[in-house]
Amino acid sequence: MERHGTEIFDILKGKDFLTIEEIVKLAKASFGDDITFYTCGATNLSPEALLNFFIENNKFEHLDGKYRFGCDSECT
């Protein structure tokens, strides 16, 4: 099933910095192992590809190899 990428922000809000692997694990636990995402600018993204997309678009704060949601604007 494909979900909008910003739904991952809902599961990250209020959480501390996490590794990419921890975020992927949360995404799969919330949406299933076969989840793919779409955004305003991309489709059929794996959780890893979605996170890289958001990192490239400065949607996450970064600290020591870990990330957390840190942006007022969710749509990319």
| Close Cβ partners of 73 (under 8 Å, ≥ 6 residues apart) | none
- In terms of residue numbers, what domain contains 32? 2-69
21 occurs within a structural domain: yes
Residue 58 has a pLDDT of 87
Element (H, E) at 3: strand 2-4
62 occurs within a structural domain: yes
pLDDT tens-digit profile of 12-35? 988 999 999 999 999 999 999 999
Residue 67 has a pLDDT of 93
76 occurs within a structural domain: no
Residue 74 has a pLDDT of 55
Domain CATH number, residue 29:
1.10.10
Predicted TM-score of the model (pTM) = 0.85
22 occurs within a structural domain: yes
Q: How far, in Å, CA of 63 to CA of 44, rounded?
A: 28
**Number of domains observed in the structure of the chain:** 1
